[in-house]
Every structure is written in structure tokens, then in C-alpha cells.
């Protein structure tokens, strides 16, 4: 495992993190024993960053993480594991409407209660990183929730403060970074979704904000395991995500990527992860347990220019901007 800085924080993060949504539920049948084994395996291999949320099984994910860390400590393991979690807005539309009021969806009373619940589930007095799970740019002019979180930070209840981007408007968090309201941002960034590279990632670098990449496999299709005949169980949220002809279109684009990778010695999953962690920014990859073997596959030491000059284009300063013309075209489907 390799490690890198997390924004400007004095924190050395594993380049690959453990995304803990699946262990909480909503990804089909998931036995706790399998979840515990997967998390232990990830930690044994050097992962020291875990990302979870209140909404991942209504606290189930957080409680399993706490159980694993508690058992490892009791077994005498000396390790420092950084756990990030997320607080959703109170009941209402998701993502929040521009007409919603921040002080109502993330009121002080609600945030204090929710943060206390997150800490209790995780078995800690201080949350390493508390992220708001969604946002609307309408609140940027007066980001009251972050003022409350800064107060909780001063009280020692929260370490770092972050935001998880709303899928339909990821750039809404740019003003928050420039305003110094957040220590981290969590973004969708993968071989299909490249928009953050246009501005958001540069702003994160300039402001010293840590970046957590999510959906690197585009909910599994970029592992190369899906086919047009794949059927997703009704208790798996991806049945909705890939409804209609979306799965068929996604698989077609993924197969085009597979063709581009011929001769590179990369599996689909490796290329998906590698493309994120070799970006010039300080970023970590939150990958789900569904693809545990692919996530933990040994990353080959191929210099970035050797790979991307063969399969894509590289700017004069050596920073990758697109992976290849075909992959750039594939991004238009989302």
C-alpha cells in the first residue's frame, strides 16, 4: 500500500480506502461475516481510511466498522485508522431544493443530535471526518451548517469537516473550498465522469482541500463484470440506477474501454482505480467490497507517461487531462 497527504492535513492516507456502503445494505444480500472479513482484509493490506455514512444501513455500516476496530485493538494491533462518516439533511427532498432553508435541513439541534449518534455508532468521542452528505449551491451565500460544524470542531467533537458533492451539481462545492469552509470534498470521478478535472480538482489543490473519490467503478460496470444480460436484484439500489437501457449503454462503453486496455496488462478494475490514484492531485479512492479482489490487486508500477501517452493525451506539464478519445466520448452518456 502507498500513502499520500490528505490535502494540507497532517495525515498520511492510504491511496485506496474502504468504501463502506455495501456493508450497511442496499447492494443486495450482504452477510455481516463477509463484511467483517472484507474490512479486516483491507486493513491487513494497509488500508487506513474508511468512508461510511448514516444512511448506509441506518448506522449498520458504522457499527460494523466500530466492531472491527474494537476487536483489532483487543487483539493487540497497533494501527491508526481514519474513519470518515456523513450526516444527511433532515427529512425532505434529496438533494435539497434551492428553496429549502439550510438552517432547517441542517439545524443546530439536528446536527448536534446526529453527530452524537454518529460518534456513538462508531464508538468514539470524536469523529475523524464529518461530511455533510449533500448540498445545494443556494446555501453557499450563507453556509450556516458549516458554522455549526466549526463550533463542534472547536468543542472537540469533530476533527475535520467535509462535504459530499450533490451528483447533479458537483461544482456547487467550489465556493465552499475557496471560502475555507471545508477540509475535504468527496466527488464522483471515474473513467466516464471527468468533469471535476476541469476546475474542482484544481481548486482543491490550490486551497489544500483533501479529495475523496467515489463511484470509481461507476457502481460496478467499470470492473468489467457486467454484461448486457446482467440482472440486478430488486433489493440492490443499482436496479434503479441502471433501469431502462442504461445498463446496456454503460456496458457498451465499458467494453470499448476494455478494448483500449488490450496490451496494457491492466484489468478493468485496476485501470479504473489506477486512473484515479495516479491523478496529480492528493486523492484517495473509496472502493466498495463488491470488488474487493480487484481493489486489492497489486498495482503495477507503470510510469504515468508510459501509460497515458500510449492510451491518452498528456499536458505539457505531465498532468493527465483525458484518458483517450474513446473514453472521453463515453463520458457523454451520464
Which range of residues forms the domain containing residue 300?
A: 3-333
Identify the three-state secondary structure at position 50.
strand
Residue 283 pLDDT: 44
Residue 308's φ and ψ, nearest 5 degrees, are: -80, -25
26: alpha, beta or left, given left = phi > 0 and alpha = psi -120 to 50? left
Say how far apart CA 274 and CA 255 lie, in whole Å.
18
- Render pLDDT for 129-175 as a digit per residue (tens, 0 to 9): 999 999 999 999 999 999 999 999 999 999 999 999 999 999 999 99
Cβ–Cβ < 8 Å for 69, 131: no
Alpha carbons within 13 A on the beta-carbon side of 286: 25
Report residue 263 CA to chain centroid gap. Answer: 29
Given this model, what pLDDT does residue 323 score? Answer: 33
Domain count, the chain: 1
Q: Which residues pair with 158 in a beta bridge?
A: 127
Cell 446536527 belongs to which residue? 111
pTM for this entry: 0.83
> Which residue has 486523492 as its cell numbers?
283
pLDDT given at position 309: 37
What does the alpha-carbon distance between residue 187 and residue 214 come to, in Å, rounded to a whole number? 6
84 close to 50: Cβ distance less than 8 angstroms: yes
pLDDT of residue 185: 97
Work out the angle at residue 60's Cα, subtended by the Cα atoms of residues 58 and 63, and round it to the nearest 5 degrees: 125
Please report the pLDDT score of residue 266 as a whole number: 86
d(CA 308, CA 155): 46
Q: Minimal CA–CA distance to 220: which of 246, 198, 197, 195?
A: 246
* Chain segment 310-330, per-residue pLDDT in tens: 444 333 333 333 333 333 333
- Using left for φ > 0, alpha for ψ between -120 and 50, and beta otherwise, residue 303 falls in beta
Percentages of the chain per state (helix, strand, coil), in multiples of 5: 40, 20, 40
Q: Are 72 and 43 in contact (CB under 8 A)?
A: yes
Q: β-strand 3-6 against 9-14: which pairing, if any?
A: antiparallel
User: Could you give phi then psi for residue 64, rounded to 5 degrees?
Assistant: -65, -40
- DSSP letters for 156-190: TSEEEEEEEPPGGGGGGGHHHHHTT--SEEEEE-S
Those residues of the chain that have pLDDT short of 50 are 280-285, 289-334
d(CA 299, CA 287): 14
C-alpha cell at 281: 492531485
**What residues form DSSP beta bridges with 16?**
285
CATH, residue 158: 3.20.20.100
DSSP string, 250-295: HHHHHHHHHHHTTTTT--HHHHHHHHHHTSSS-EEEEEEGGGHHHH
Amino acid at each position: 500500500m502507498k500513502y499520500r497527504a490528505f490535502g494540507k492535513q497532517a495525515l498520511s492516507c492510504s491511496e485506496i480506502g474502504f468504501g463502506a456502503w455495501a456493508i450497511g445494505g442496499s447492494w443486495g444480500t450482504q452477510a455481516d461475516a463477509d463484511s467483517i472479513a472484507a474490512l479486516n482484509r483491507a486493513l491487513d493490506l494497509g488500508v487506513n481510511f474508511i468512508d461510511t455514512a448514516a444512511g448506509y444501513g441506518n448506522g449498520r455500516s458504522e457499527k460494523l466498522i466500530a466492531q472491527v476496530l474494537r476487536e483489532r485493538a483487543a487483539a493487540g494491533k497497533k494501527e491508526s485508522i481514519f474513519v470518515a462518516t456523513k450526516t444527511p439533511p433532515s427529512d425532505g427532498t434529496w438533494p435539497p431544493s434551492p428553496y429549502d432553508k439550510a438552517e432547517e435541513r441542517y439545524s443546530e439541534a439536528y446536527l448536534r443530535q446526529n453527530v452524537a449518534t454518529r460518534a456513538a455508532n462508531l464508538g468514539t468521542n470524536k469523529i475523524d471526518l464529518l461530511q455533510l452528505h449533500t448540498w445545494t449551491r443556494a446555501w453557499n451565500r450563507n453556509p450556516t451548517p458549516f458554522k455549526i460544524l466549526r463550533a463542534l470542531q472547536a468543542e472537540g467533537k469533530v476533527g475535520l469537516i467535509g462535504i459530499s458533492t450533490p451528483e447533479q451539481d458537483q461544482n456547487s462545492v467550489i465556493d465552499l473550498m475557496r471560502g475555507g469552509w471545508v477540509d475535504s470534498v468527496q466527488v464522483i470521478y471515474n473513467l466516464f465522469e471527468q468533469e471535476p478535472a476541469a476546475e474542482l480538482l484544481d481548486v482543491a489543490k490550490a486551497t489544500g482541500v483533501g479529495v475523496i473519490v467515489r463511484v470509481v467503478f461507476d457502481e460496478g460496470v467499470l470492473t468489467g463484470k457486467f454484461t448486457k444480460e446482467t440482472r440486478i436484484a430488486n433489493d440492490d439500489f443499482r436496479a434503479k440506477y441502471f433501469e431502462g437501457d442504461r445498463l446496456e449503454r454503460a456496458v457498451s462503453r465499458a467494453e470499448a474501454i476494455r478494448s483500449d486496455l488490450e496490451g496494457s496488462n491492466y484489468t478493468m478494475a485496476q485501470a479504473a482505480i489506477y486512473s484515479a490514484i495516479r491523478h496529480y492531485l492528493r486523492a484517495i479512492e473509496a472502493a466498495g467490497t463488491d470488488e474487493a479482489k480487484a481493489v486489492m490487486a497489486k498495482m503495477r508500477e507503470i510510469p504515468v507517461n508510459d501509460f497515458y501517452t500510449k492510451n491518452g493525451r498528456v499536458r505539457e506539464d505531465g498532468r493527465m487531462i483525458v484518458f483517450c478519445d474513446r473514453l472521453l466520448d463515453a463520458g457523454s452518456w451520464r
